Amino acid sequence: MSTGEPAVMANKRFTLSPEQLRTFSDQGLLKVDFGFDPQLLDQIVTEVRPHYGTAYEQDPLATARCQDGWKKVDAVRQLAVHDSVLAALRMLMDREPLPFQTLNFPVGTSQYPHSDSIHFHTIPAGFMVGVWVALENIDAENGPLVYYPGSHKLPYFSMQDLGLGPGYSNYHAYELRIQDLIAEHGLQSELGLIEKGEAIIWHANLLHGGAARKDVTRSRHSQVTHYFFEDCRYYTPMESRPGKLCYRKPFRIPSQPDFSLPPDLSTRALPVRAVGRLLRSLGLRK
Ligand SMILES: O=C(O)CCC(=O)C(=O)O
């Protein structure tokens, strides 16, 4: 069963249908089957595992995350810069997408609902999306994504709009204010029940989080990539105050493996000794 609309391929270029564009605009999210290679997805699951840290090694069912795993695992980078995803995002926003961060999770996050626009915001507003890919089948038991269709049409709330000071120490208070807003507006949640390989694209301001893990013995491997779009200014509202925005440098995850990364961060370590010999033979190193 596929919950996402099937990929429409024209001359091998990925396109979204007018109906899909409308769904994204109305609901703030879109389920898509990009037709990812299942081997790439399995490779991500296997190769990210060693990077979840010691807590995960001791208990593989503990909550864990790997931020920017693309620096260590090339399969993560390949999914983040996948041609079909970039083509779909160009259609949605009519601007060039800039993948800037990956997060991999081995189990459900049970995160409170939030809008990504409290973490990542743009001038002009709205040029950010998340693309969440199921690396295994997701059902109501293993902590699916939860979201509130239509919530992207609420205003973009800053910390100050919610009566809070800036800083991560106020993040839980932010989450509680969002709970109040959900109740005040009578927003209805839905679960992202999708199959391995399917993706959910969410709008910068869509309220979303991780539903409870009803079966804590189950994994829930997933990868989310966050994208900005070209020709904006980028900032972090959580750390900002009026008149003193905390700007972010534009950054794009490379479309090819980045061999300039230190060997332990590069997926294909440079042959360091061979490079050293070459530099010495050219007189560039003693
Ligand atoms: O994967 C999840 O459960 C939630 C992810 C999320 O909220 C995010 O990346 O912003």
* Atom of ligand 1 lying closest to residue 210 CA: 3
Any atom of ligand 1 within 6 Å of the Cβ of 109: yes
Q: Which of 109, 114, 148, 152 to mutate to test the pocket of ligand 1 (most atoms within 8 A of CB)?
A: 109
Among 202, 109, 205, 119, which Cα is nearest to 166's? 119
The number of beta carbons lying within 10 Å of the beta carbon of residue 111 is 16
Quote the pLDDT of residue 190. Answer: 98
Q: What is the pLDDT of residue 1?
A: 35
- Ligand 1 neighbourhood includes 103 CB (under 6 angstroms): yes
| Three-class DSSP category at 86 | helix
Contact 128, 169 (CB under 8 A): no
Ligand 1 contacts CB of residue 208 (under 6 A): yes
pLDDT at 99: 98
pLDDT tens for the 286 residues of the chain, in order: 344 444 444 446 899 999 999 999 999 999 999 999 999 999 999 999 999 999 898 998 889 999 999 999 999 999 999 999 999 999 999 999 999 999 999 999 999 999 999 999 999 999 999 999 999 999 999 999 999 999 999 999 999 999 999 999 999 999 999 999 999 999 999 999 999 999 999 999 999 999 999 999 999 999 999 999 999 999 999 999 999 999 999 999 999 987 666 544 433 334 444 444 555 555 555 4
Residue 145 Cβ < 6 Å to ligand 1: yes
Domains of the chain: 8-255 (2.60.120.620)
Which secondary structure element, helix H or strand E, spans residue 57, and what is its range? helix 54-58
Query: What are φ and ψ of residue 4, in 5° steps?
Result: -85, 155
| Token pair in block for residue 148 | 């509130």
Q: Is 201 in contact with 192 (CB distance < 8 Å)? A: no
